[in-house]
Amino acid sequence: MPKPPFKNRLNNLDPKEWLKFQKSWFIHNPPPRKKKVLRHPAKFPETLVKEFIEFFTKENQVILDPMVGTGSTNIAALRAGRHCYGIELNQTYTDIARILIQEERDLLGAEVNRLVSQIITGDANKIPRIIETHAIPAIDYVITSPPYWNILQAKGYETQAKRRASAELDATYSNNPSDLGNMQDYDQFIEQLVLIYKSLKPFLRPRAYITIIVKNIKKGGRIYPLAWDLALQLNDIYRLKDERIWCQENIRLAPYGLGNAWVSNIFHHYCLQFRNE
């Protein structure tokens, strides 16, 4: 009896491409940033986002990023042939995102004219109102990377000293009190983040996936298990399906605690996969 044809209800990938994505860890070293997006202190790469979009959606489906920054998700969606809506609190970043999206449209040409790629200046804490006001259709996939709590305010955090000395580089996302990156209490931060993702549920299609890219963080000599806490609490709202570990190997090692105590260099993020069930 002949083998039945492969039916793919989730994406447009062939079996070989599907299997490659199923590896639980991967190395992705982001390419150099364009000058326009250097201002943003924690941009994530379009090249990485595109791989997730192509796995969790089919062409012409609708993607949302509720904390889109300078528009990485929108640009990746254009390249993948998907519609995308991005919400961002900081007006400076939304202005940059709109410029970058238009540049990407010009580069890709007429083939993306049919695609919606909208950037909305707004507060993720008010997602239901934003979705209804802008008539965003049913969402097929969410991919986003929230602030890693208020770690950007830590004086020793990576290149923060250089950023604080520059008028052209932001050391933090904003001074807005609604910005999650400005919350000082860790438990309140987790609670608010969970409420934001919970508010998306009525607008997601059944069995739609959510990818949240986060990592556990160090502060004051203590580990805060942000990825694990978020996974645990959101599992009561969505179904936690899996994780993929994003590793970077192009970051310089720093001699934290050398000769005195164990302090690791954290070069990995957790890409948490939830499904709306």
CATH assignment of the domain containing 140: 3.40.50.150
Output the tens digit of pLDDT for each of the chain's 277 residues.
677 777 899 999 999 999 999 999 999 988 776 666 555 556 678 999 999 999 999 999 999 999 999 999 999 999 999 999 999 999 999 999 999 999 999 999 999 999 999 999 999 999 999 999 999 999 999 999 998 887 877 765 555 555 455 556 655 667 788 888 888 999 999 999 999 999 999 999 999 999 999 999 988 888 999 999 999 999 999 999 999 999 999 888 989 889 999 888 989 999 999 999 9
Q: What is the DSSP letter of 6?
A: P
Number of domains, the chain: 1
Question: Are the CB atoms for 59 and 137 separated by under 8 Å?
Answer: no
User: Which domain does 222 fall in, by range?
Assistant: 36-250+261-275
Residue 201 lies in a domain: yes
Residue 239 lies in a domain: yes
φ and ψ at residue 184, rounded to 5 degrees: -95, -25
Upper half-sphere CA count for residue 58 (Cβ side, 13 Å): 7
- Residue listed under structure tokens 């540049």: 103
| Rounded distance between C-alpha atoms, residue 42 and residue 145, angstroms | 9
Number of H helices, E strands in the chain: 8, 10
Question: Are the CB atoms for 48 and 82 separated by under 8 Å?
Answer: no
Residue 3 lies in a domain: no
Residue 136 lies in a domain: yes
What is the C-alpha R_g of the chain? 19
Residue 74 lies in a domain: yes
Residue 160 lies in a domain: yes
Upper half-sphere CA count for residue 206 (Cβ side, 13 Å): 0
pTM value is 0.91
Q: 137 is written with which tokens?
A: 């259709």
Residue 7 lies in a domain: no
- Residue listed under structure tokens 């305010």: 153
Residue 165 burial (CB count, 10 A)? 9
Q: 34 is written with which tokens?
A: 């364009």
User: What pLDDT is stored for residue 170 in this prediction?
Assistant: 59
| Rounded distance between C-alpha atoms, residue 25 and residue 209, angstroms | 19
